[in-house]
Amino acid sequence: MEEKQYLFIDFEFTMPEGKANPIGFYPEIIEVGFAAVKDGHITGEFSSFVTPTRFNKLTDRCKKFLHINQSQTDLGMPFAELVSLLKSYDEKLPTTVVTWGNMDMKVLRNNCQKAGLDFPFTGKQLDLSLEYKRFFGDQNQTGLWKAVQAYGKEGTGKHHRALDDALTTYNIFKLVEKDKSYMKNHQPTTIGDRIDLSKVLDQLVL
């Protein structure tokens, strides 16, 4: 049986000062966190700030929202180094990338195009927020930490810290998979299992 791994990833991005994007602006990855999982066990974790190239000065809005400062991204890893690292994981084993929402892969793909680099992943990409939405029949997509709290749990560490959000995504994945397995194996009861029909008939006779 071929070995495979899951890569639970979260990125944080640059953001403009206001709601409207300035001309030419696009979000760039400024923090990465991921956990590699094989056979239900975490085999590796990684966390780092990433230096943006196009818009390297963080806006006040970005710093306040993510609770980071300029020096942290200035000293971060180059984006090309991040892509190379992700590619090395993809090359080791067949890899399914799991994120909460679709923005992480969209921004990674766009950043790769802007930098003239190949997208590092060749396997399946799973948006767990859609899986969660389908499974529970929600009308709207649920935020990461709201989803884990719906299970009566708390998120790992701090929200909007990349590695903490990646680990929280992994925890929700385990909970959803457990529920899916239960639903698959659980045989629905018949009405006869739920009601003692002899007692019902006795009542009708009386």
Amino acid residing at 44: G
> Of these residues, 2, 3, 28, 160, which one is catalytic?
160
DSSP codes, 77-107? EEHHHHHHHHHHHHHHS-EEEEESSSHHHHH
Known catalytic residue: 67? Answer: no
From the list 3, 12, 17, 154, the catalytic residue is: 12
Q: What is the DSSP string of 138-201?
A: -SSPPPHHHHHHHTT---SS-TT-HHHHHHHHHHHHHHHHHHHHHHHHPPPPPHHHHS-HHHHH
Contacts by 55-63, CB closer than 8 A, 24 or more apart: 55/14, 55/25, 55/28, 58/14, 58/30, 59/14, 59/15, 59/16, 59/17, 60/17, 61/15, 61/16, 61/17, 61/18, 62/14, 62/15, 62/30
> Where is 45: in which H helix or E strand?
strand 41-51
* Token reading at 1: 């049986």
Query: Can you name the residues that pair with 32 across neighbouring β-strands?
Result: 11, 48
* Residues classed as catalytic: 12, 160
